[in-house]
Amino acid sequence: MSNHGRAFSSSTRPALSREQPVEDQYLVPESYLEIEVRNPQTHGTSNIPMFKLRQSSVRRRYSDFEWLRDQLERETSRVTIPPLPGKVFTNRFDDKVIEDRREGLERFLQIVAGHPLLQTGSRFLVPFIQDSAFSRDKYRFNY
C-alpha cells in the first residue's frame, strides 16, 4: 500500500533542529586544520587523517607554491584551484608587500588543504605541507 496521503508516524517526522549551546560553539571542532605561513616557513596543525603529522613546519619558496598549484590543476578538473598572490617585481622587500604575499599564500594553502577532494585525491598536497625534505623532483607528475 502506498504512503501517499498518510500522515507521518512520529518516528518518521523530520527532527527539529536545536540551537547549539554557547559553550559548544567554542569547543575544538572534531576535524580541524590550521595553516599559517610565516616568513619563510609554513606551519600547520591538524587532526585530519590524511595529514599523518599532527604538527608540521616546512620551508617553501614562492616557486614551490607555483609548482604545487600547477600540479593540483593537472591532477583534477573537478576542483577550482584558487590563484596565488601575484609575483612582485618592485619593492619586493617592502614590509607591506611581504605581508600581503604571506597572507595570500596562507589563504591559498588554507583553501586547498581544507578541500576534501584534494586531501584524499592529491599525491602532492600532503608532502608539500608536511615533508621537510620535500623536493619537486621527487614528486614529478607522470603523464
Q: What is the pLDDT of residues 58-83, one digit of tens each?
A: 788 899 999 999 999 998 888 899 99
Long-range pairs of 121-128 with CB within 8 A, sequence gap ≥ 24: 121/75, 121/76, 122/71, 122/72, 122/75, 122/76, 123/75, 124/68, 124/71, 124/72, 124/75, 125/68, 125/72, 126/50, 126/51, 126/52, 128/58, 128/60, 128/64, 128/68
Q: Is the pTM higher than 0.85?
A: no
Percent of all residues in the chain with a pLDDT value above 90, rounded to a whole number: 16
Instruction: Select 22-136's CATH number: 3.30.1520.10, 2.60.120.380, 3.40.50.2020, 3.40.50.2300.
Output: 3.30.1520.10
